[in-house]
Amino acid sequence: MQTRRITKGDFDQIVSVIDRWWGAPAGTLAHPIFFYELGQHALVAEENGSMVGFLLGFITPELPPTGYVHLVGIHPEQRRHGVGRLLYEAFTRECVSAGCAMMKAIAPMGNEGSARFHAGVGWNVEEVQDYAGPGRARLVFTRSLAKGVS
Ligand SMILES: CC(C)(COP(=O)(O)OP(=O)(O)OC[C@H]1O[C@@H](n2cnc3c(N)ncnc32)[C@H](O)[C@@H]1OP(=O)(O)O)[C@@H](O)C(=O)NCCC(=O)NCCS
Q: How many domains does the chain have?
A: 1
98-136 pLDDT per residue, tens: 999 999 999 999 999 999 999 999 999 999 999 999 999
- Protein residue closest via CA to atom 36 of ligand 1: 74
77 C-beta neighbours (distance < 10 Å), count? 7
Q: Does any domain span residue 31?
A: yes
Q: Does any domain span residue 33?
A: yes
Ligand 1 centre from 72 Cα, in Å? Answer: 10
**What CATH number is associated with residue 57?**
3.40.630.30
The answer to whether 34 and 42 are in contact (CB under 8 A) is yes
Q: Does any domain span residue 120?
A: yes
**Residues spanned by the domain of 39:** 2-144
Q: Enumerate the H helices of the chain as residue ranges.
A: 8-22, 33-36, 83-97, 112-120
Q: Which ligand 1 atom is at minimum distance from the Cα of 21?
A: 41
pTM for this structure? 0.96
The pLDDT value given to residue 147: 67
Q: Does any domain span residue 149?
A: no
Give percent of the chain with pLDDT exceeding 70. 97
Q: Does any domain span residue 48?
A: yes
Mutate to test the pocket of ligand 1, among 20, 80, 103 (most ligand atoms within 8 A of CB): 80
The pLDDT value given to residue 146: 80
Q: Does any domain span residue 111?
A: yes
The reply to whether ligand 1 has any atom less than 6 angstroms from the CB of 121 is yes
Mean pLDDT of 61-67: 97
Q: Which ligand 1 atom is at minimum distance from the Cα of 88?
A: 12
The reply to whether ligand 1 has any atom less than 6 angstroms from the CB of 39 is no
The pLDDT value given to residue 149: 59
**For residue 3, what are the β-bridge partners?**
45
Instruction: Give the model's confidence band at 70: pLDDT under 50 very low, under 70 low, under 90 confident, else very high.
Output: very high
**For residue 138, what are the β-bridge partners?**
108, 128
CA distance 1 to 51: 10
The reply to whether ligand 1 has any atom less than 6 angstroms from the CB of 111 is yes
The reply to whether ligand 1 has any atom less than 6 angstroms from the CB of 31 is no
1 C-beta neighbours (distance < 10 Å), count? 13
Q: Does any domain span residue 150?
A: no
Q: Does any domain span residue 87?
A: yes
